[in-house]
Chain A
Amino acid sequence: MSSTELASRPAPPSAWHMYRAMVGVGVFCGLLIVSVFQVTRPIIEHNKAEALKKAIFHVLPDASTSGTYRLNDAGGFEILEGEGIGEQLVYAGYDEKQELVGLAVQAQGMGYQDVIGLIYGYSFAEDAIVGVQVLESKETPGLGDKIETDPAFLENFERLDVSLVDDLSEMANPIVPVKHGAKTNPWEVDGITGATISSVAIAEILNRSAQYWTPRIRNHLDDFRREE
């Protein structure tokens, strides 16, 4: 290598130059993300509230209006004005005659990839879950996401038994996942071949949530009834 060749090579950059580039770009990127987040947050929250409303009427097909209720410390339910988001909420659905037709409850739990969030409709008249809609899932496309599309799987939730024991203190039978085609009882969830973890996760999320909510709701049904 000749001396001219060596001289024409650029000197290696100092550590300061590297830090400057990385930290500078990092700060710029951070600011950009934060400002976009701030601008889009109200719009995204509004979209989510709209989607939730649509989901409530999807899982309670007979309902035409809804109300948001919060579980209070005494174990009863109190109505919440405006758009409530947070813990311990249930959504009551009413038909055109203002009669209570059922309750929509949000639940979530761990799936295969990430948290699965869903909403289900509980009909106290039928003692059953009458509809489920997945609100949030990152399950594997083509396999795990069948929990939202597989018609045989969704058939489970047309009437999934969650009846309570006679004194209304707990569920008579837990919701249990079974292998595809092995469903014999109305409280079992027929799984999906190829999406075992995701379909079992749905059954477990429903079971945990129903165990908690159904006795509480049944013991305070009058809290939801609207005055004529």
Chain B
Amino acid sequence: MAASTKSSTDEFIKGLWKENPVFVQVLGMCPVLAVSNTAMNALAMGLATAFVLIMSNVVVSSLRSFIPKQVRIATYILIIATFVTVVDYLIQAVSLDLYKALGAFISLIVVNCLILGRAEAFASKNTVARSMMDGLGMGIGFAFALFCLGAVREILGSGSLFGAQLFHDSFQNWVVMILPSGGFFTLAAWLLLFNWLEQRKAKKEKTDALSLTKETA
């Protein structure tokens, strides 16, 4: 069992950018594509997932010596499902309209592979504090990614952001952006941007290293 040796701030930051669950790990695509049609839905879904992720990480890591390996998956699912039910009630209490907009996808957080993945790969091997930072980072990274998609789709698809109209009436909405195919287009564009940035960084590092060796030679 290899526990992480990074500092807890690193655990937090890695989920935001370097190991962003959506843009880098490409995990949990079902809610990412389905409920990112408006910025509000995307943000609410992202925050709900982040809450479940943080809570399940904390509980799983605090029970990690109590849960035998043979029954760990079943126990993790039980814990995750509990927090999803809790979120379900909380969203109903906050806003019924939001609850209706998110629909079946709240219950589907249970099977979001990101959450079970972090429980299995991280929380079951690390301390509570570290797992919480990991959950926080990954959760915020996920919410951020969903918001990026939702904002682009809402701006182009309905000409508004958080329901506030942005453009003049003559703006022709790209209806395709709020339809399911728009989710794929937007995700592709973001992935392209992320990979381009990564490649550029890698290239720069390589040339830097090369010039360094030349200089020393």
Contacts and interface: CB of A to CB of B under 8 A. Distances in A.
Contacts of A48: 96
A51 interface: yes
B79 interface: yes
Contacts of A21: 63, 66-68, 71, 75
Interface in A116-149: 138, 141-142, 145
A24 B67 CA distance: 10
B34 A25 contact: no
A226 interface: no
Contacts, number: 65
B67 A47 contact: no
Interface stretch (A32-40, A59-67, A204-212): A32-40
Contact of B92 (A29, A47, A138): A47
Nearest to A48: B96
B68 A18 contact: yes
B105 to A, nearest CB: 8
Contacts of B82: 29, 32-33
A151 interface: no
B75 A33 contact: no
A219 interface: no
B86 interface: yes
Given A13-B68, A40-B89, A142 B180 contact: yes
Interface residues of A, number: 26
B74 interface: yes
A47 B97 CA distance: 10
Contacts of A172: none
B78 interface: yes
B217 interface: no
B70 A40 contact: no
Nearest to B178: A142
A37 B89 contact: yes
B86 A36 contact: yes
B66 A24 contact: yes
A142 B175 CA distance: 13
A18 B66 CA distance: 9
Contacts of B105: 141
Closest 6 pairs between A and B when the two form their complex, measured CB to CB: A29-B82, A13-B68, A43-B93, A40-B93, A40-B89, A21-B67
